[in-house]
């Protein structure tokens, strides 16, 4: 198996945590290659593809990819394109990763726009639900939502082994009559049987914001604007609740004693919803595996992203997507 190209320069904790994560992956037998400035990466036994430039977190995505041709992000995408790597990972500028992967790897036939598929933190446990599009495409057509449904279904099976993914359309009510002009126009497209047969998916109709983290759906389809707002709304709520809990846990001697007794019961909950454990988002629709980790990724997050990228390369996500999109 070809190695996973790891953008060593992307992320708040780059290159230290990124290199450490790549080493952890290599230690458990996942082949990796670092991409970045050798002097910044420092001493390592891992293979390094040299790239002299770095795209910063806040740079304009398309412009930076066009001008910084020797950046770690662009070189990582080229490594996949050129058959030097089986996939890539970056914790850097998400928009630039999207642009680099799209421009260098090119799109799969039938994909007008690649999309970001994000696993959601399941507080109740179980396989993460997939939110697609989580932010790549702000302005969408009904056809695009239908494309996201297909790609999301294929991804849920390739990534999490969901055999018959239940696909829901994010709306403001469960009834088919509810929705925005966009979702109302997408609904009949998602109701068609052909794509469901081609992907093994079941379209279950509209779902609501409260279903995002529930067990009744596997793939939630939406435009990138609504997806971004929904994802950040639930992440924000989780953060506010955790902060309020931590404050309560430290509010008195009794509370501190109680929190200590509860700790072993709370740890599994913490672990299964930690972004570093849940893993990164995937850019789907390009001719290559591309995992996008969050900016604050630790070594552990990079390890998990490398595992996911390696698995997706092994199960041939791109081939599966190509086949599913080749049927009408």
Q: What is the DSSP string of 71-113?
A: BHHHHHHHHHHTTS-SEEEE-S-HHHHHHHHHHHH-BPTT-SS
- Rounded Cα distance, 249 and 246, in Å: 5
Does the protein bind a copy of itself through residue 246 (CB under 8 A)? no
Among 103, 198, 238, 295, the residue binding a copy of itself under the rule CB under 8 A is 238
Q: How would you classify the pairing of strands 130-132 and 115-119? A: antiparallel
Does the protein bind a copy of itself through residue 93 (CB under 8 A)? no
- Rounded Cα distance, 328 and 318, in Å: 18
Which region, judged by CB under 8 A, interacts with a copy of itself, from 4-12, 75-83, 104-112, 240-248? 240-248
Q: Percent helix, strand and coil across the chain, each rounded to 5?
A: 50, 15, 35
Provide the minimum distance between the beta carbon of 183 and a copy of itself in the complex, in angstroms, as a whole number: 8
Among 56, 109, 197, 248, the residue binding a copy of itself under the rule CB under 8 A is 248
CA atoms within 13 A on the CB side of 138: 2
Among 138, 192, 216, 271, the residue binding a copy of itself under the rule CB under 8 A is 138
Provide the minimum distance between the beta carbon of 265 and a copy of itself in the complex, in angstroms, as a whole number: 4
Among 53, 259, 311, 316, the residue binding a copy of itself under the rule CB under 8 A is 259
Residue 6 vs 219, nearer CB to a copy of itself: 219
Which region, judged by CB under 8 A, interacts with a copy of itself, from 44-52, 150-158, 222-230, 306-314? 222-230
Cα angle at 313 between 19 and 138, to 5 degrees?
85
Does the protein bind a copy of itself through residue 185 (CB under 8 A)? no
Among 22, 79, 111, 230, the residue binding a copy of itself under the rule CB under 8 A is 230
Which region, judged by CB under 8 A, interacts with a copy of itself, from 40-48, 164-172, 280-288, 309-317? 164-172
Residue 65 vs 158, nearer CB to a copy of itself: 65
Q: Which of 92, 138, 26 is nearest to 290 (CA)?
A: 92
Provide the minimum distance between the beta carbon of 231 and a copy of itself in the complex, in angstroms, as a whole number: 7
Does the protein bind a copy of itself through residue 277 (CB under 8 A)? no
Among 209, 274, 275, 295, the residue binding a copy of itself under the rule CB under 8 A is 209
Among 1, 241, 323, 326, the residue binding a copy of itself under the rule CB under 8 A is 241
Residue 14 vs 182, nearer CB to a copy of itself: 182
Q: What is the DSSP string of 219-283?
A: EEE--HHHHHHHHHHHHHHHHHHHHHHHHHHTSSHHHHHHHHHHHHHHHHHHHHH-HHHH--EEE
- Rounded Cα distance, 6 and 2, in Å: 13
Long-range pairs, 315-319, Cβ under 8 A, ≥24: 315/158, 317/154, 317/155, 317/158, 317/159, 317/284, 317/289, 318/108, 318/287, 318/288, 318/289
Does the protein bind a copy of itself through residue 232 (CB under 8 A)? yes
| DSSP 3-state of 19 | helix
Does the protein bind a copy of itself through residue 197 (CB under 8 A)? no
Q: Which of 91, 96, 11 is nearest to 304 (CA)?
A: 91
Stretch 103-132 residues interacting with a copy of itself (CB under 8 A): 122-125
Provide the minimum distance between the beta carbon of 118 and a copy of itself in the complex, in angstroms, as a whole number: 13
What residue ranges bind a copy of itself (CB under 8 A)? 122-125, 135, 138-139, 170-173, 179-181, 183, 208-214, 222, 224-226, 228-241, 243-245, 248-249, 251-252, 254-255, 257-266, 268-269
């Amino acid at each position: 198996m070809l190695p996973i190209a790891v953008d060593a320069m992307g992320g708040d904790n780059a290159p230290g945590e990124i290199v450490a994560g790549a080493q952890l992956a290599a230690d458990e037998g996942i082949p990796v290659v670092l991409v970045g400035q050798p002097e910044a990466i420092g001493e390592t036994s891992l293979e390094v593809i040299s790239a002299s430039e770095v795209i910063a977190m806040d740079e304009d995505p398309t412009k930076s990819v066009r001008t910084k041709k020797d950046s770690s992000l662009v070189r990582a995408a080229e490594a996949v394109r050129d058959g030097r790597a089986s996939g890539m990972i970056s914790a850097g500028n998400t928009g630039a990763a999207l642009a680099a992967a799209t421009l260098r790897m090119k799109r799969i036939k039938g994909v007008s726009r690649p999309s970001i598929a994000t696993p959601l933190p399941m507080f109740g446990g179980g396989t993460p639900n997939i939110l697609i599009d989580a932010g790549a495409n702000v302005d969408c057509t009904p056809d695009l939502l239908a494309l996201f449904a297909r790609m999301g279904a294929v991804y849920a099976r390739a990534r999490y082994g969901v055999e018959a993914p239940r696909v829901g359309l994010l709306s403001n009510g469960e009834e088919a009559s509810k929705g925005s002009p966009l979702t109302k126009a997408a609904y009949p497209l998602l109701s068609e049987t052909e794509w469901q047969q081609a992907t093994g998916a079941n379209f279950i109709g509209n779902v609501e914001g409260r279903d995002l983290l529930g067990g009744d759906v596997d793939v939630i389809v939406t435009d990138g604007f609504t997806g971004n707002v929904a994802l950040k709304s639930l992440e924000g709520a989780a953060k506010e609740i955790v902060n309020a809990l931590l404050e309560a846990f430290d509010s008195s001697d009794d509370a501190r004693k109680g929190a200590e007794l509860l700790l072993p019961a709370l740890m599994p909950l913490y672990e299964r919803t930690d972004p570093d454990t849940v893993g990164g988002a995937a850019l789907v629709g390009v001719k290559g595996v591309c995992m996008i980790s969050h900016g604050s990724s630790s070594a552990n997050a990079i390890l998990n992203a490398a595992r996911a990228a390696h698995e997706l390369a092994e199960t041939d996500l791109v081939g599966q997507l190509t086949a599913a999109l080749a049927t009408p």
